[in-house]
Structure 1
Amino acid sequence: MTTSPAAALTARAQEVSSQIVADILRLVGQETNSYDLPGLAAGLDLLRELTVDRLGPPDQERRHPGGECGDTLTLTYTGSGPGHVALVGHYDTVWPTGTLAGWEGRQPGDDGRPVLSGPGIFDMKAGLIQGIWALWLARESGAPTPTVTFLFNGDEEIGSLSSRPVIEQVARTVDATLVLEPSAQGAVKTARKGSGVFQVTVTGVEAHAGLAPQDGASAITALSEFVIAAAAVAAPENGTTVNAGLITGGSAINVVAGRATAGLDIRISSPAEQARVDREMDAIQVSDPRVRVEIDHAWNRPPMTLSAASLPLLDLAREVAREQGREGLRDAAVGGASDANFVAALGLPVLCGMGAVGDGAHARGEFIHPDTVPAQTALVAGMLGRLATPLPAPATAS
């Protein structure tokens, strides 16, 4: 019986899965906290080395300096077909340097299913390696392949502050963008919340807490009032959440605080909610008129929805999955934001969550299921084969 190309691709992914996993663990072994510039540089050097080891030298390469952030690396491999695809992923993690030494990992669950655990393995170093091997598999199959541009950025976890222009530039030059972020329990991600990080600065009046407390206006008290009011701006039923994740203030325990700050993480699902949050945050009043409240409205990522431009990519992913024996590939809307948000906001084709299957992003004990690595890698490889010829542009209303 003749083996179908899809079945052969899946079988080959299974054969090389141990090598894929070895590369994943090697990358996890290099810590790359978003604020550790030496660690980020070493991590990007290793990621480039792993890419070149598997795919050879790129036809085009550029390292975009990140300044106070990790650099962004673009590597382009010319394909045999007319299509052009971007594979995008970040190599920075939320974990402080030194976390690896004390990482206790995670044991298999009650079902005995194997897991691999390590800082950043799920979010998202496994996805990066799977993307590299996906092109390796697509090339080895002998089928036409598109030109592929890898984009590896080192600042996604802190807002893609330096890499956003590079991401948007690359997305404009390709036919489709696949973001190698972890999946949602195997589902691809077609909708994500937008995000903002508001910095609130409260300036009060310092005074001696024992001798003349009436002369002071506590910035900490006022900030507490503000944070409680800000939490009430949330509207979970509309997809809007507000989290005060970091608070600082005061100079000494016996001084009425003259300054306090808070960092608010805000997630929204629509532009209308973004406008409402802006309006209601600015309307918050504190009880002491001597206190000044300043709010920096720093919206970072716009909401991502499944657009007409991206729907053909979802259809293609489902078709490729069926051909590979995976029925019912799901898609999901999630609360987290990613670099896919930037691409979607441009009205360009993008599909996210093409990476690892596991759980625990940003949580100690994050893990992947290594038995899913072949299928996830084959899915991206199969899509690359189909995208060797660009998908037809969606019809537009006249």
Structure 2
Amino acid sequence: MTASPAAAAAALTTRAQEVSPRIVDDILTLVRQETSSYDLPGLATGLDLLRELTVQRLGRPDHEHRYPGGECGDTLTLTYAGTGTGTGTGAGHVLLVGHYDTVWPTGALAGWEQPRPSDDGRDRLSGPGIFDMKTGLAQGIWALKLARESGAPLPTVTFLFNGDEEIGSLSSRPVIEETAQKADVTLVLEPTAHGAVKTARKGTGIFQVTATGVEAHAGLAPQDGASAITALSEFVVAAAKVAAPDRGTTINTGLFRGGSAINVVAGQATAGVDIRVSSEAEQTRVDEELDAIKVSDPRVRIEIDHAWNRPPMTLNAASAPLLALAREVAREQGRDSLPDTAVGGASDANFVAALGLPVLCGMGAVGDGAHAQGEFIYPETVPAQTALVAGVLGRLTQPLRD
């Protein structure tokens, strides 16, 4: 006799609670292996560890492929055949995406301190990358394990682990896009926004601005020089005024380098500029207004590399039924609600949404402090989040319908 949806959901959440200590152990195992985006040996070891952990929990995949990342971390896909009624690769095929690189330099773990419980008494676990996003990786692996144990029909599941998300998914983007187009649905295991899934994200630009001036002796002939630093400083101030926070557009110059010596008028200077936009219209406006900026010394040449990294993400028509399904699963598992929200950060979900494909982001950790010293998770939320992904997997043996 087939269990009712309510009974099946209760059994799944109970099982997730039972194995929660093991899931947390796996999270901490991943955190202890540092995987800075710029540490290729560390990334290689981290990906080997992640693959080993996946195989320990799920067995050997039916198909796997490792894509060399060059100057970035490699990308790994592991596919586990489903047991559902879907046929082919388009129906009943779910892609679970998660990055294993972190923003933290190798060595950060040594001086990391655990936080005290929060003011409301909730325990917290901290570590470099624990929130963004090694908890999501472990939860995703265990979600498929628990879904299998439940005996429910399951879709084919492909895990995609990439090691360059924090620096723009420079090598993994084509792999993500190609793999997503072969799947029916994509779930991105990025952290939640205080428990909410993320259905809208800003697009990002990683611009490099170069100023080329004229070098001269700062004491003997300063008038013969044209300072690249002075001109680029003017540009940076003008660029900040192009921001429009009321329209969701922010501009931040995070890196500034220039000059060759203190007594030389600078002939070269560069700036790294982070840009966030909520729409393609804002992207176009920013491009045009930055190009129109003039500096006071015409001898200095300003060149802008308009490197738009991720397109803006919105809740597209294909993703709306997926959100509705996730909310239905959450209700069956006893949640009052499953909110969704828009956030300023970007993720690999931006690429999938731009293709018009169904995607939900923020299916991972509950906590806070991404990219900040002391980022943390609430360990008591691990079983519920794991059960949610497991429950959604169990409902995706057929294509979504409006």
Would the TM-score normalized by the shorter structure come out above 0.5? yes
Per-residue deviation, 1:258: 0.8
**1:178-203 alpha-carbon deviations (Å, 9 max, x no partner):** 00000000000000000001100001
Amino acid at match of 1:31: E
Moved more, 124-133 or 204-213: 204-213
After TM superposition, which residue ranges in structure 1, 4 or more long, deviate above 6 angstroms? none
Match of 2:89 in 1: none
For 1:98 and 1:209, locate their aligned partners in 2 and report how far apart those are by CA, in whole Å: 41
Does structure 1 residue 4 correspond to structure 2 residue 13? no
For 1:143 and 1:348, locate their aligned partners in 2 and report how far apart those are by CA, in whole Å: 25
5+ residue gaps in structure 1?
none
Does structure 1 residue 284 correspond to structure 2 residue 284? no
SS at match of 1:70: coil
Match 1:216 to one of 225, 242, 257: 225
Match 1:294 to one of 300, 303, 310: 303
Does structure 1 residue 343 correspond to structure 2 residue 352? yes
Amino acid at match of 2:126: S
**1:100-132 alpha-carbon deviations (Å, 9 max, x no partner):** 111123221122210000000000000000000
For 2:224 and 2:71, locate their aligned partners in 1 and report how far apart those are by CA, in whole Å: 41
Match of 1:23 in 2: 26
SS at match of 1:148: strand
SS at match of 1:386: coil
Match 1:80 to one of 70, 79, 83: 83
For 1:262 and 1:391, locate their aligned partners in 2 and report how far apart those are by CA, in whole Å: 45
**1:120-148 alpha-carbon deviations (Å, 9 max, x no partner):** 00000000000000000000001111100
For 1:48 and 1:390, locate their aligned partners in 2 and report how far apart those are by CA, in whole Å: 28
Amino acid at match of 1:307: N
For 1:286 and 1:53, locate their aligned partners in 2 and report how far apart those are by CA, in whole Å: 59
Amino acid at match of 2:164: D
Amino acid at match of 2:17: Q
Does structure 1 residue 326 correspond to structure 2 residue 335? yes
Instruction: Normalising by structure 1, report the TM-score.
Output: 0.98
Match of 2:206 in 1: 197
Match 1:35 to one of 38, 56, 70: 38
SS at match of 1:222: helix
Instruction: Normalising by structure 2, report the TM-score.
Output: 0.97
Per-residue deviation, 1:263: 0.3
Per-residue deviation, 1:389: 2.2
Match of 1:363 in 2: 372
For 1:46 and 1:139, locate their aligned partners in 2 and report how far apart those are by CA, in whole Å: 22
Per-residue deviation, 1:208: 1.1
Amino acid at match of 1:216: G
**1:300-353 alpha-carbon deviations (Å, 9 max, x no partner):** 100000011000010001000000000111000000000000000000000000
Does structure 1 residue 272 correspond to structure 2 residue 275? no
For 1:361 and 1:263, locate their aligned partners in 2 and report how far apart those are by CA, in whole Å: 21
SS at match of 1:16: helix
For 1:79 and 1:289, locate their aligned partners in 2 and report how far apart those are by CA, in whole Å: 64
Match 1:225 to one of 209, 215, 234: 234
Amino acid at match of 1:386: R
For 1:226 and 1:107, locate their aligned partners in 2 and report how far apart those are by CA, in whole Å: 44
SS at match of 2:394: helix
Match of 2:264 in 1: 255
Amino acid at match of 2:11: A
What is the percentage of aligned positions where both structures have the same residue?
Answer: 81
Amino acid at match of 2:72: C
